Structure 1
Amino acid sequence: MKQDKPLQPDAAIFDMDGTLFETDTLLIPVHERVFRTLREEGLYSEETPSVDILLGCLGMLLEDIWRQVMPSSTEEARKRADELLLQYELEGLAAGEGSLYPHVEQTLRVLKARGVKLFIASNGLEHYVKGIAEHRGIASLFDGIYSAGEYGTRSKVDLVARLLEDHGLQSSHVWMVGDRSSDVEAGKRNGLVSIGCAYARYGEGSELCDADRLIHDFRQLVDER
């Protein structure tokens, strides 16, 4: 893993959950509501799975997440869980629940002022990803917000490739910033500088071992902390 600070890029692509957004500040109360409703509707009869399982799956596609969280459930239950999760997340965001990580907005504004084009690439649902950006007041900072839910991509690699092509970006001058192995892979396979966010990783500690650089504070993207 390289630790030298990369030169300022022409563009930076950010994951959302675990990178910009402190997901557990929203997901913990939402998780309990989802399973309470599933039981009320007769679609799930087991105890509520640990929210840590769900948090550990962040970065995956939703259909893969539910196979991990509720492996013995029916397809009907998983589809309903999709609907409830989005509904309760958007309600929570509108009510002021959920926080960005410290210094995210300020750092994004510094990068924007320096002429860096900013993007989001997330494996989440379109309305969830855009809802976070809008409700937390950062949507206007981005030149594009891409999600697997909107573009129907099967991997973060494909989603980032689509973003790069759409905006005519030269890969060697772009950062991919994220907290999961899928973000590192998306950066590497698209020829980007891969920056791993080690401040609040929801996955395994080894996931970022192939990143070009690690940061432990979001401000490290603009200074030498």
Structure 2
Amino acid sequence: MRVRILHKSSSYFLRVGGKSSKGKKKMPKGSFSKNCPLMADFSGDSLRALAFDVDGTLFSSEGIILEVYRDSIRNFSKTSGVEVELPTKDRLMLEIGKPVKTIFRNLLPQLNETQRDVISDDVLRFLCERIKNGEGELYPFVKETIESLSQKGFRILAASNGRKPYIETILEVAGVLSCFDPILVLDNERIKTKGEILKEYRKLYDLEPEKILMIGDRLSDHEAARQNGCPFAFCSYGHAPAGEIPDFEWELKNLSDLNRVLRFLPA
């Protein structure tokens, strides 16, 4: 089984304690700000767990997602007789990263929840099939980075708004599923947001806020970190449009930068 790997530059680029605005500057290799206001009460050596978003952080579905959604909607229209306008790629990508029910509520407000769930189930099935067949794109150094961090003793967690079959399919294809602790997902009852996923992990493993790093690319990842008082590493190579992320502790230009962050953090 082969999955295409995104070939992005592996050059080291890291910003510490920044805001998503103009004036980006390169940090010297191994150099970290010790006076960042966002890090004032945070000591890097306290980290015990790493919570990874999945789509836009470890994997990109961007190359297949539009076709999957459109095929699922066409399939629904054919079987139900209900005509539904197909979404554009730009419209769809604005929704990616949100809870599944929110995505479909925003994209298909004219349908009832039962109808939306039919389409949603097809999307999940088609996505998993295509990922297992080698479609979609793993970001560079996913396997190496996660295995390395796991071997260093960090608890490896998944914090995604996606459904468990989707998350597990990606992690299995990436060859890192065994590195992850049991995966918590939204159940739309007790756990309704990514912030609540992070909260449950904290309770489950008795983690203080400063002991768990949220790693992701979208606003829901930032919000989950801030709601729990946790530090946030922003994956700027992901799906977020410019200006979506208001602030962060670290910006990662490549997932492998995380190894450098955790190696050189100031104590």
Give TM-score scaled by structure 2 length. 0.76
Write the distance in 1 (CA, Å) between the matches of 2:114 and 2:184: 27
Q: Say if 2:110 is the partner of 1:72.
A: yes
Write the distance in 1 (CA, Å) between the matches of 2:251 and 2:230: 15
Alpha-carbon deviation of 1:198? 0.6
The one-character-per-residue Cα deviations of 1:182-210 (angstroms, maximum 9, x if unpaired) are: 11111122121111111122x43222222
SS of 1:145's equivalent?
coil
Partner amino acid for 2:247? D
SS of 1:218's equivalent?
coil
Corresponding residue number in structure 1 for 2:17:
2
Greater fraction helix = 1
The one-character-per-residue Cα deviations of 1:105-148 (angstroms, maximum 9, x if unpaired) are: 11111211221111001111121112221233210111232211
The counterpart of 1:167, out of the listed 205, 215, 226, is 205
Query: Number of matched residues?
Result: 223
Q: Say if 2:254 is the partner of 1:217.
A: yes
Q: Are the aligned partners of 2:53 and 2:160 in contact in 1 as well (CA < 8 Å)?
A: yes
Q: Are the aligned partners of 2:158 and 2:183 in contact in 1 as well (CA < 8 Å)?
A: yes
Q: Evaluate the alpha carbon distance shift between residue 26 and residue 48 of structure 1 in structure 2; reply closer, same or farther with a 3 A threshold.
A: same
Alpha-carbon deviation of 1:43? 5.0
Alpha-carbon deviation of 1:151? 7.4
Quote the RMSD (CA, aligned, Å).
2.1
Alpha-carbon deviation of 1:84? 0.6
Write the distance in 1 (CA, Å) between the matches of 2:136 and 2:50: 23
Q: Are the aligned partners of 2:142 and 2:174 in contact in 1 as well (CA < 8 Å)?
A: no
The counterpart of 1:158, out of the listed 174, 178, 196, is 196
Q: Counterparts of 1:62-211 in structure 2 under 5 Å?
A: 62-149=100-187, 152-201=190-239, 203-211=240-248
Alpha-carbon deviation of 1:13? 0.4
Q: Evaluate the alpha carbon distance shift between residue 81 and residue 43 of structure 1 in structure 2; reply closer, same or farther with a 3 A threshold.
A: farther
Partner amino acid for 1:165? K
Write the distance in 2 (CA, Å) between the matches of 1:208 and 1:82: 27
Write the distance in 2 (CA, Å) between the matches of 1:115 and 1:87: 34
Partner amino acid for 1:131? T
Q: Counterparts of 1:49-68 in structure 2 under 5 Å?
A: 49-68=87-106
The one-character-per-residue Cα deviations of 1:22-79 (angstroms, maximum 9, x if unpaired) are: 1213423312321221221135413311133222212211111112212223333211
Write the distance in 1 (CA, Å) between the matches of 2:132 and 2:242: 33
Corresponding residue number in structure 2 for 1:46:
84
Q: Are the aligned partners of 2:217 and 2:235 in contact in 1 as well (CA < 8 Å)?
A: yes
Partner amino acid for 2:249? D
Corresponding residue number in structure 1 for 2:10:
none
* Residue identity (%): 27
Q: Are the aligned partners of 2:65 and 2:127 in contact in 1 as well (CA < 8 Å)?
A: yes
Aligned structure 1 segments of 4 or more residues deviating by more than 4 angstroms: 149-152
Max Rg structure: 2
Alpha-carbon deviation of 1:82? 1.3
Write the distance in 2 (CA, Å) between the matches of 1:58 and 1:216: 20
SS of 1:19's equivalent?
coil
Write the distance in 2 (CA, Å) between the matches of 1:43 and 1:160: 41
Write the distance in 1 (CA, Å) between the matches of 2:150 and 2:194: 24
Q: Are the aligned partners of 2:234 and 2:248 in contact in 1 as well (CA < 8 Å)?
A: yes
Give TM-score scaled by structure 1 length. 0.89
